[in-house]
Amino acid sequence: MLKIDEKKLMRLLEDFHKLAGIKICFFDEEGRELACVPKNFCSFCGYIRSSKLGDAACVRSDAEAFEVCRKTGKLHRYTCHMGLTECVTPILRDGECLGFIMIGQAAGNPIAPEYAEEKARLYGLDGKRAAELYSDIEFQDEERINASVSIMEACASYLYLNRLMLEEKSMAVKLRDHIKKHLDGDLSVNALCREFKLSRVDLYACFAHSFDSTPAEYVKSIRLEEACSLLESTDMRITEIAGKVGIADYNYFSKIFRRAYGMSPREYRAIPR
């Protein structure tokens, strides 16, 4: 987990908001919000998130942005599902992501109220009300958004370099990294308990909380993800791939692959890309 000087962090976020007038949030490496200025959603976002479908779409949009940052190690600027401009940048140490800073809920497209109206109706909301609330958001021109992004990136560097945050990897991150590095090894519950000096109860609780999964199901999902990557990017024989991801029994590998993706490994490899 991250150790944070909360007072200094909040002062930094508050100073940014005073200068830019844009919402800024700080997240840990798993994408959990730890600090935000202002704390509340703007009226438009609050209205969209009052719908279960709208809220789920917002959560999914954030998660997708975090995943892009994890993979690229770079700032990711995008338009959210409701037409607002948002940016997220990773906080890095030696190429490793320790957390994220996000700015968002910025109106960067003056024609988006019509889009917001249409999308709100899909979420069971009053489209006209959504369009009105969108129009109330202060419009940010391209120059101002770019300036805010530059300051945000400076804040990300400042957080680590000035020791406002110190890295202490969470157990979930340690487990995830270990699993990805040892796919062809023993990743049984007993082996993981020995490696991390955890009881079975604590191990299962960690996987349930962090990954919404059991250890076995999570390991299987990571093995299958790597198998897909190898099928797409290499000419390795499928039996070799099965062994490389730790599933030595080819028949079992084919069975769980089909169950997960609805096709055999061979059919998956044949898909045009």
- Reading the chain (273 residues) residue by residue, the pLDDT tens digits are 456 777 888 888 899 888 888 889 998 888 888 889 999 888 999 999 999 999 999 999 999 999 998 889 888 988 888 888 888 988 877 677 878 889 887 766 656 778 889 989 999 999 999 999 988 887 777 788 888 888 888 877 776 555 555 444 578 888 999 999 999 999 999 999 999 998 999 899 889 888 889 999 999 999 999 999 999 999 999 999 999 999 989 999 999 999 999 999 999 998 876
Residue 47 confidence (pLDDT): 95
Hey, what are 200's tokens? Answer: 């079975």
Q: What is the pLDDT of residue 168?
A: 46
The answer to whether residues 162 and 180 belong to one domain is no
> What's the distance, CA 190 to chain centroid?
29
Q: What does the pLDDT read at residue 273? A: 65
Are 199 and 181 contained in the same domain? yes
Chosen domain end from 119, 148, 167: 167
Output the CA torsion sign for 94, 96, 99, 100.
positive
CA distances from 127 to 58, 79, 201 (A): 17, 19, 48
Q: Are residues 139 and 20 in the same domain?
A: yes
Report the distance separating Cα 165 and Cα 169, nearest Å: 12
Q: What was the pLDDT predicted at 109? A: 63
Q: Do residues 180 and 202 share a domain?
A: yes
Q: Provide the whole-model pTM.
A: 0.56
Residue 78 sits in the same domain as residue 121? yes
Q: How far apart are CA 2 and CA 87, in angstroms?
A: 22
Say whether both 200 and 183 belong to one domain. yes
Rg (CA), the chain: 22
The pLDDT score that the predictor gives to residue 167 is: 46
Residue ending a domain, choose from 113, 133, 167: 167
Under 8 Å CB-to-CB from 101, ≥6 apart: which residues? 24, 25, 26, 27, 88, 89, 91, 152, 155, 156, 159
241 and 187 share a domain? yes
pLDDT score of 91: 82
Residue 55 lies in domain? 2-167
Q: How far is CA 71 from the centre of its chain?
A: 10
Residues 123, 158, single domain; the answer is yes
Same structural domain for residues 234 and 248?
yes
pLDDT of residue 166: 47
Number of domains in the chain: 2
User: In the prediction, which pLDDT does 84 show?
Assistant: 86
CATH assignment at residue 95 = 3.30.450.20
Write the CA distances from 101 to 8, 77, 133, integer angstroms: 15, 12, 25
**Which residues have CB under 8 Å from 26's CB, separation 6+?**
9, 13, 33, 34, 35, 36, 99, 100, 101, 102, 159
CATH number at residue 200: 1.10.10.60
**Domain boundary at 167, 194, 214, which?**
167
Residues 117, 223: one domain?
Answer: no
Same-domain pairing of 98 and 122: yes
CA distance 111 to 120: 15
Judgement on whether residues 181 and 52 belong to the same structural domain of the protein: no
